Structures are given as structure tokens and as C-alpha cells.
Amino acid sequence: MSALFSPGRIGSLELENRIVVSPMCQYSAVDGVAQPWHLIHVGGLMMSGAGLVIVEATAVEDIGRGTHGCLGLYRDDQETALAKLLDEARKLSGARIGIQLTHCGRKASTRTIPERWKGEPLPVEEGAWTPVAPSPLAFDGHWPVPEELDETGIERIIGAFAASARRAAQAGFDLVEIHGAHGYLIHNFLSPLSNRRSDRWGGTRENRMRFAIGIARAVRSVLPPAIALGFRINSTDWHPDGSSLEDAVALAQALEDVGVDYAVMSAGNIAPGISIPPAAPGHQVSFATEIKKRTGLSAMAVGMIAQPRQAEAIVANGEADFVALARPMLDNPRWGLHAAAALGADIRYPPQYIRARPNNWLGFGFVHPEARPPETSLQLDRPRSVSWDRPAGRT
């Protein structure tokens, strides 16, 4: 039996398998409101064969958006649009749907150039706003200096995360993930490279973690027990003066104490110019393994996980409980279906696509030789499709 396609559990949330679609920014919202593109994008991923699809990083307040095209969840119209998206997306498969909540901190107010996929500071004439951060330190030399948050601002943002989480529950999401990595606001507080405060929000590791823990506690307090809560953690800044894996483990242990169910382990992006090891397949899996060993959290691995048997080995060997894929899913939105064929797993297909199932299409092995089932795999001798029902508890 495939480990990758065995049922999984995050908190009280049950998943059909261990494949997760990572949040992927689309820069296609209008004033924070989801558009038809988001339904097409999320809907396609719902039919990928993954057990969980997480909607892109979504800002908890307007100045927390990375760009003018980022999703938001701080107004009624934004919540209504996402609720409608969920209502349609759930008709496509039995995959669960989560959302990632974020505040971009000093990396907010940027312009994304599609041709380069690289963020740049937003010019004033294009509607730039002043970003906020724990300390008035710019992300880079040509970036704006952020406004230093005072106690009132910090408490406002903690409350904003809770308010957005409440909206996420009302919209019908199964899971909420808090973004605490990639150089965004929570990561800004966690890292000594971006947090130079001397008050209770900076200095010692305990103080630098206070903001992240406060947000997690506030979010958990407004979510029903059935909704899982996760946290994307920065595993290392790759800098001797920055956050380390030991810091990440300490944070994960503290987050577990306030009700977080899983951690997804990322790394880097706190500042430009830091030398990092070359990326290689599975290069961040060891961070998830450390969390799995040293906490009771479900561990989610990321980092150039692209091949079915690679993902299978990660789960089968106990290196992580789940694998999360991003760009491989953009490249191949049916990644999970093809992985099932490669691993001999019998999974459900959308009824409309049943003719493309390996046992129903003689050409499958020619088009996807890498996904051809091994000789000893389960013989898929009959179509298996379903009429998807709305999960219990969702109306």
C-alpha cells in the first residue's frame, strides 16, 4: 500500500492522502477580492488528486498585502467572494480546502513584474503605501524604510489575524495556516536580522517569539475545533546572526502548546545577499523531520519535491507526515492522479475525467511513461468515479 496515498489527519481534520498543494500567490485579486481566475486556479488544483489544497497567502489588513493584486480577508465582500469560490470548488472533489493568512510587513507595497517574477518596491505614482515592521530597517537598500510598530499597532495586527481567521471559518475553510516565514511580518519579529527592539517584543528568543505565539493563540481562540490550524515556520535564516533551526524547534514547541496542529518548514528570504546552500530535490525535508522528532505536531515537508517516488519515500520513511508541492502542481495540475498511477494507488477521479484514467485509456503509458504503474501494482480494472458530496458540517 502506498504511504503517500494513505489517509492522513491534521488535528481533527481527516484527509484522503498525504499530498498538499502549497499556497501560491496569483496576483490577480482586485482590491483584495477573489476573481474568476481564482476559481479556475483553485478548481483545477481540487482535481489534482491532492488531499488538501491551500489557497494563496491572504492579507489580514490592507497594508499587509504584498501587492495590489494580493487577496485579502478583512472585508465582507472579500469573505463573500471566497465563500462563493469554496461553494463551487467543493463540487469538484473531496479534497479539503485551507487558506494561508499573512501580513507582508516590510516586504509589503511591492510591484510584481510577471516577466521576471521578482518583487520590486511599488512607486508612489502607482499607489505605494508605507509598510510596517518591528524595526525601521528596509528589506534592501532601494526599498522603503518601514514604520516601526508600537504596542497599539502590534495588538491591532494580532486582532486582525483573529478577525480574518473568523472570516475564514465563516466562509467555510477546513484549515487555516499562518504564514511565519519568507521575510514577512511574523518572520520579521522572529529574526534578529530584522528585529532590533529592546522591549518585550525583541531581544531574547522568548521576546521575539511573543508576536507569533500571540497571533497563533488569538487565531486558535476563534476557530471551531474542527478547523485545523497550521503555521509556516522559517527553519533557518542561513546567516550566523539570524534565526536557527533550534529557534524554529523552540517556536514549534510553543505553538503546539497554544493549539497549533501542524508546521510546514520553509527557510530563508529574510534579506537579500545571504549565501544559501544550492537548492536540490528535498533540500528542506530534514527541517520537517526535526519537527516530527521533537514535537507532537504534524510535519509538512517542502522544497523541490517533484517526483512521486520521492514523495512516497519521504512519507514512508517517516521523514514527514505530509508533502506540500507548489510549482510542480502548476506544471502538472494532475500531479496527484499521475502519482497514484506510478505508485499503484487506486484513487477517485472526477466523473468527467474518467476516460483519462490509466485503465480506461490505452495511451496513458505512452504519454506518461514516468507514471506507468509497476508490474506488481494494483490492477485498475474498472473505472472508479464519484459524485462529490459536500463534507459534513459545511452548508
- At 34-72, the pLDDT tens digits run 999 999 999 999 999 999 999 999 999 999 999 999 999
Does the pLDDT value for residue 359 go beyond 90? no
Helical spans, DSSP H, in 144-259: 151-171, 185-190, 205-222, 245-257
Q: What's the CA gap between 258 and 23, in Å, rounded?
A: 23
Residue 38 inside a domain? The answer is: yes
Residues in the chain: 395
228, 140 contact by CB (below 8 A): no
In whole numbers, what is the pLDDT of the chain averaged over residues? 92
- pLDDT (average), residues 166-180: 98
Residue 278: band (very low, low, confident or very high) from pLDDT cuts 50, 70, 90 = confident
186, pLDDT greater than 90: yes
The grid coordinates of residue 94 equal: 473531496
Q: Give the residues across from 389 on adjacent strands.
A: none
Over range 317-322, report the average pLDDT.
Answer: 98
- The Cα 164–Cα 222 span in angstroms is 10
- Residue 376: the pLDDT is 39
Q: Is pLDDT of 18 > 60?
A: yes
Let me know if residue 98 belongs to a domain.
yes
Predicted pLDDT at 389: 47
**Residue 152 clears pLDDT 60, i.e. is over it:** yes
Task: Indicate if the pLDDT at residue 207 is higher than 50.
Answer: yes
User: 242: domain range?
Assistant: 8-371
Is the per-residue pLDDT at 114 higher than 80?
no
Pairing state between β 118-121 and 110-113: antiparallel
**Count H helices, E strands: the chain?**
11, 15
Annotated active-site residue in 74, 184, 262, 349: 184
What is the pLDDT at residue 231?
A: 98
List the one residue out of 113, 103, 93, 112 whose CA is nearest residue 42. Answer: 93
Give pTM, 2 decimals.
Answer: 0.93
CATH number assigned to the domain comprising residue 168: 3.20.20.70
Q: Evaluate whether residue 15 is within a structural domain.
A: yes
Cβ–Cβ < 8 Å for 244, 201:
no
pLDDT band of residue 115 (cuts 50, 70, 90) is: low
Q: Which three cell numbers stand for residue 194?
A: 530584522
- Indicate whether 90 belongs to any domain: yes
349 catalytic? Reply is: no
Decide: 13 and 44 in contact? Cβ < 8 Å: no
Would you say residue 384 lies in a domain? Answer: no
Residues 124 and 132: beta-carbon distance below 8 Å: no
- Reading the block at residue 188, the C-alpha cell is 520579521
| Cα–Cα distance measured from residue 364 to residue 226, given in angstroms and rounded to the nearest whole number | 39
Residue 394 has pLDDT above 80, yes or no: no
* 80 phi/psi in degrees, rounded to 5: -60, -45
Mean pLDDT check: name the lowest of 66-70, 233-237, 363-367, 369-373.
369-373
Using CA of residue 268, residue 290, residue 318, residue 22, what is the dihedral sign?
A: negative
How many domains, the chain?
A: 1
Alpha carbon 295 to its chain's center: 20
Residue 368's pLDDT is 80
Strands (E), 4-127: 8-10, 13-15, 19-21, 52-59, 71-72, 96-102, 110-113, 118-121
Any domain includes 387:
no
CA distance 250 to 235: 11
In this prediction, residue 117 carries a pLDDT of 56
Joined grid coordinates for residue 58: 491572504
376 domain residue, yes or no: no
357 band by pLDDT with thresholds 50, 70 and 90: confident
Regarding predicted confidence, which is higher, 363 or 166? 166
Q: Is residue 394 assigned to a domain?
A: no
